Amino acid sequence: MLYFNRDGYSTYCKEYREYWDWVDKRNDERYENTKSHGKNYDAKNMMHVFRLLDMAIEIGKQKKVNVRRPNRDFLLEIKSGKFEYEELLKMAGSKQAELDLAFDNSDLPDEPDLAMINDLTYRLRDKFYKDR
């Protein structure tokens, strides 16, 4: 009698198909950039990880979103592949701890004010369509 892991085989087939779909559709310029710096990680994605962590920390501490980044040069260094992957993971771990602390000490509400958001959305749409 022959036994096999049907779920395991199905999962393997799905992941194999998804990988080759990704290869077909990937951004070749971005992939070449990843290969060119020789670090074996998606540097653009990693840059965004740090940008988003920093922005989240600022929200927790300052209660506002700062779009212009004061550490632009650092972010561009990440994007260019200046850092080793393990080094970035350690830095991201420190940022995550800082983020947790920022929100532990923040007086921001745990839940959004849905009534205010809905009212604001209604007023903005109303103004947008009246001004057209």
Is position 4 within any domain? no
Is position 94 within any domain? yes
Is position 6 within any domain? no
The answer to pTM > 0.75 is no
CB-based burial label for 89 (10 Å; 0-12, 13-18, 19+): middle
Residue entry with tokens 């550490």: 71
Report the domain count for the chain. Answer: 1
Is position 33 within any domain? no
Q: Domain limits at 108?
A: 40-130
Rounded Cα–Cα distance for residues 82 and 98 (Å): 23
Is position 97 within any domain? yes
DSSP 63: S
The pLDDT tens digits for 16-33 are 898 888 777 777 776 666
pLDDT at position 70, please? 95
Is position 104 within any domain? yes
The pLDDT tens digits for 82-122 are 999 999 999 999 999 999 999 999 999 989 999 999 999 99
Is position 79 within any domain? yes
Neighbour tally for 41: CB within 10 Å? 16
